[in-house]
Amino acid sequence: MKLDGKRVLLTGATGGLGWEAALAFVRAGATVEALDIQPEKGRRLEDAASKWGSLFYADVDLRDLQAVAENLTSIISARGGLDVLINNAAIYPARTFEEYSLEEYREVQTVNVEAAVACVKALLPEMKARRHGRIINVASVTFYGGWANLYPYVASKGALVGLTRAWAREFGPHGITVNAVSPGAIPTDAEKIHPDPAGYNQFVLDRQALKRRGSPEDIANAMLFLGSDYSSFITGQLLNVDGGWVMH
């Protein structure tokens, strides 16, 4: 898939899925603005990308919505606009309902949802002016139920699905598409801390129609499609990339 000359902004770019997505867009010819709070990994990501094209890492803490707005404004003016926004960063602390404080709940919503709103606020005027834009929100299979002790995260993913539909309706007349990718359980570093890796692996395979584990490349491919001109007539959709776990 070719995205030559496209300018892409990806949050959570040094994470398990973000890393592969960032490199996939660079390999497809796009220039990637990679945001995260892991400067050392950010430098390594820039190095890894340099053999194919351009990736610029910026250290931006999504809890600071003012900093998000300022950084996006300066990126937009430096690049002359952005074609694709991928709201990928997330935090997912796991505790029981009683163990969560209201502050922790709010922090999850700030990083996972409000930062996405801040990015769209900063980007929208320029996308509207060019009558072109692709916004991709990253949801989760957990939104369909099946996981306890994650309620702030699951709520945040529900909010992103709602935003996807509301924004698609509102921004469609301006030539901007808004879609979401819902990854299944993709084995990344986060999964390695599971107390029973073999049992968890089997739990996932039992639920999938396809009997192999997904990979970060599988998610990156869906993002590439939704960021490209091949998806120009698709908006407001939630694309499950989960090996046939959820089928609606």
Asked if 243 is part of the footprint of ligand NAD (rule: CB under 6 A), the reply reads no
Q: Tokens 């707005």 map to which residue?
A: 69
**Which one among 27, 29, 37, 165 touches ligand NAD, defined by CB under 6 A?**
37
Neighbours of 93 (CB within 10 A): 14
DSSP 172-206: GGGTEEEEEEEE-----HHHHT-S-HHHHHHHHHH
- Which residues, 110 to 149, sit near ligand NAD by CB under 6 A? 111, 138, 140-141
Tell me if residue 153 is catalytic: yes
Choose, from 92, 151, 153, 230, the residue flagged as catalytic. Answer: 153
Mark residues 178-217: x for contact with ligand NAD by CB under 6 A, - for none: -----x-xx-x-x---------------------------
> What's the distance, CA 248 to chain centroid?
21
- Which residues, 223 to 242, sit near ligand NAD by CB under 6 A? none
**H/E run at residue 56:** strand 55-59
- Total chain residues near ligand NAD (CB under 6 A): 25
Query: Burial level of 232, CB count in 10 A (0-12/13-18/19+)?
Result: exposed
| Interface residues toward ligand NAD, by CB under 6 A | 12, 14-18, 36-38, 61-63, 88-91, 111, 138, 140-141, 183, 185-186, 188, 190
> Catalytic positions, please?
153
